[in-house]
A and B are shown apart, each in its own frame.
Chain A
């Protein structure tokens, strides 16, 4: 099948060579110019803003956001709540996990405009004053992190997992935590932390 392929453009190898010579930026610009010539002759669309009322950790604020703004960027930049982390920014790592109306979701794939009126809880909203949430304490007790970058997302996911009732076995905890990657590989300690916190959580 591969023998009779019609190649319309330069093949991949020469493209790669070309971009190595021209530099990645030059190749990207060339691609954009060609795309514009090929069928998208429209002028660049104007930036559009929208007013949104967001409830974060029990406090409601009215903000004006670019329609493109994700909840993740809005939390970090507008609300200055930098506990929620940007990892892959494509829904693959779980570092940006927050609770929206009680469910764990990815703030990097959530447009701020779409969560008007929703009840949003971030890692900053878990502790009661100086008293850590049992899951936060359990992560400390079990050394369930190394660099700590994925930890806010891990904890938000773990709290939701317990409420969902997926603590039946180590295997079930691992399965339902699989959307949160830890490149330091603290996984066994994370499972231990979840098991410690689960019976302590009550309605927390």
Chain B
């Protein structure tokens, strides 16, 4: 690892004013220290925000129907919150099905949504070609080993999969991100936080330099009928091959509202709006769920090793929809 300066932030405002192009925030450190050891990230200075105690960054709060989750809350803390599990199980399922108990005790939710792809050509600097790590160098995954790579939201420059789970629940539930920036606080829809690779895969998010995520807000956190289904190579402690975050409101057999996020298959957290449109106001059955799944993957681009994700992704979504419909509301 390369040498760096270390400082502890005295407050969120001080952290933001101190941030510059050569610095990175240190929260849980689980992505940061890993990528620094790999020499993929080379910050000159770390601003440690892990000990900040500001209530707006550390609490889980309910205000009417809205749920506000501080960015410094650990994955484990939210995964174990009984109230959130009852009102929005998709928010807690997607956390305890991710990483390991140790990592969930460390990783903060603000960093969780910003975790980097597991593409081995990004993580291994012995490969010259990676447009995300070295812009303009090419993409070794296109004709390399791409079994884990994305089939939605890809470009000719990058097919790296967004690895996270919780983000699929956030995008499905129309979450809002609260940010403290150099110009003060601001809020943006979670759906606009990440950007598809296009011809600039190195630019992962719409965050400006110094922007610090302080909280996530779910404006309408009343989705007792919701779940996260994750399909992996092994039963636990693995990234998703395919996953589905599903939230339903039913009126008898009819779907009165539906939200779908898809993981393991796209370059960014993925909202399956076309699939939602198929189901809205329709009667939910295996047939309509299948039609929704067809719509969700209609735009898939596959390569040598990842074409299986189309069929697996559809089956994952159908099963998630049917399982969710069977939950007690």
A-side residues, CB < 8 A to B, are 1-2, 4-12, 15, 19, 24, 27-28, 31, 34-35, 38, 40, 42, 44-48, 50, 66-68, 70, 89-91, 94, 97, 103-106, 109-111, 113-114, 157, 160-161, 164, 166, 174-176, 178-180
Could you give 20 example pairs across A and B, Cβ below 8 Å? A2-B143, A5-B156, A6-B138, A11-B143, A12-B127, A12-B129, A35-B134, A44-B2, A48-B4, A66-B3, A68-B3, A91-B34, A94-B100, A110-B33, A113-B6, A176-B101, A178-B100, A178-B236, A179-B99, A179-B102
Report the minimum CB–CB distance from A40 to chain B (whole Å).
Answer: 7
A7 surroundings in chain B (CB, below 8 A): 129, 138
Report the minimum CB–CB distance from B64 to chain A (whole Å).
Answer: 31
Apart from A44-B3, A45-B3, A176-B101: 8 A-B pairs, beta carbons within 8 A: A6-B156, A12-B127, A48-B6, A97-B102, A104-B101, A114-B50, A174-B236, A179-B103
Counting CB contacts under 8 A, is B258 at the interface? no
Tell me, in angstroms, the Cα distance from A5 to B158 when the chains sit together: 10
Q: Which one of B40-48, B87-95, B262-270 is at the A interface?
A: B40-48
> Closest chain B residue to A177 by CB distance?
B101
Report the minimum CB–CB distance from A114 to chain B (whole Å).
Answer: 6
A157 surroundings in chain B (CB, below 8 A): 101-102
Interface of chain B: mostly helix, strand, loop or mixed: loop
B137 surroundings in chain A (CB, below 8 A): 8-9
- Given A67-B4, A94-B102, A111-B29, decide whether A12 and B140 contact each other with a Cβ distance below 8 A: yes
Tell me, in angstroms, the Cα distance from A70 to B38 when the chains sit together: 14
Report the minimum CB–CB distance from B288 to chain A (whole Å).
Answer: 31
B29 surroundings in chain A (CB, below 8 A): 109-111, 114
Counting CB contacts under 8 A, is B139 at the interface? yes
- Given A70-B33, A89-B37, A90-B37, decide whether A106 and B128 contact each other with a Cβ distance below 8 A: no
Counting CB contacts under 8 A, is B1 at the interface? yes
- Complex contact A1–B156 (CB within 8 A): yes
Tell me, in angstroms, the Cα distance from A66 to B3 when the chains sit together: 8
- Complex contact B142–A111 (CB within 8 A): no
A174 surroundings in chain B (CB, below 8 A): 236
Counting CB contacts under 8 A, is B249 at the interface? no
A44 surroundings in chain B (CB, below 8 A): 2-3
Report the minimum CB–CB distance from A153 to chain B (whole Å).
Answer: 9
Interface of chain A: mostly helix, strand, loop or mixed: mixed
Tell me, in angstroms, the Cα distance from A40 to B43 when the chains sit together: 11
Counting CB contacts under 8 A, is B307 at the interface? no
> Closest chain B residue to A38 by CB distance?
B134
- Complex contact B101–A161 (CB within 8 A): yes
- Complex contact A2–B3 (CB within 8 A): no
Report the minimum CB–CB distance from B22 to chain A (whole Å).
Answer: 9
- Given A12-B140, A178-B237, decide whether A31 and B33 contact each other with a Cβ distance below 8 A: no
A47 surroundings in chain B (CB, below 8 A): 3
- Complex contact B139–A46 (CB within 8 A): no
Counting CB contacts under 8 A, is B30 at the interface? yes
B-side residues, CB < 8 A to A, are 1-6, 26, 29-30, 33-34, 37-38, 42, 44, 46, 48, 50-51, 76, 99-103, 105-106, 125-129, 134, 136-140, 142-144, 154, 156, 235-237, 301, 303
A19 surroundings in chain B (CB, below 8 A): 126
- Complex contact B3–A179 (CB within 8 A): no
The 7 closest A-B pairs by CB, nearest first: A179-B100, A178-B236, A178-B237, A67-B6, A103-B105, A45-B3, A47-B3
Report the minimum CB–CB distance from B43 to chain A (whole Å).
Answer: 10
- Complex contact B3–A15 (CB within 8 A): no
Report the minimum CB–CB distance from B230 to chain A (whole Å).
Answer: 13
Tell me, in angstroms, the Cα distance from A48 to B236 when the chains sit together: 39
- Complex contact A110–B143 (CB within 8 A): no
> Closest chain B residue to A156 by CB distance?
B102
- Complex contact B3–A109 (CB within 8 A): no
B6 surroundings in chain A (CB, below 8 A): 48, 50, 67, 111, 113
B5 surroundings in chain A (CB, below 8 A): 45, 48, 67
A1 surroundings in chain B (CB, below 8 A): 142, 154, 156, 301, 303
Tell me, in angstroms, the Cα distance from A111 to B106 when the chains sit together: 12
B33 surroundings in chain A (CB, below 8 A): 70, 91, 109-111
Tell me, in angstroms, the Cα distance from A11 to B4 when the chains sit together: 33
Tell me, in angstroms, the Cα distance from A111 to B26 when the chains sit together: 10
Question: Which residue of B2, B34, B127 contacts A45 across the interface (Cβ within 8 Å)?
Answer: B2
- Given A19-B126, A105-B106, A161-B101, decide whether A46 and B236 contact each other with a Cβ distance below 8 A: no
Among B6, B34, B101, B235, which residue has the most Cβ atoms of chain A within 10 A?
B101
Report the minimum CB–CB distance from A123 to chain B (whole Å).
Answer: 14
A31 surroundings in chain B (CB, below 8 A): 125-126, 128
A91 surroundings in chain B (CB, below 8 A): 30, 33-34, 102-103
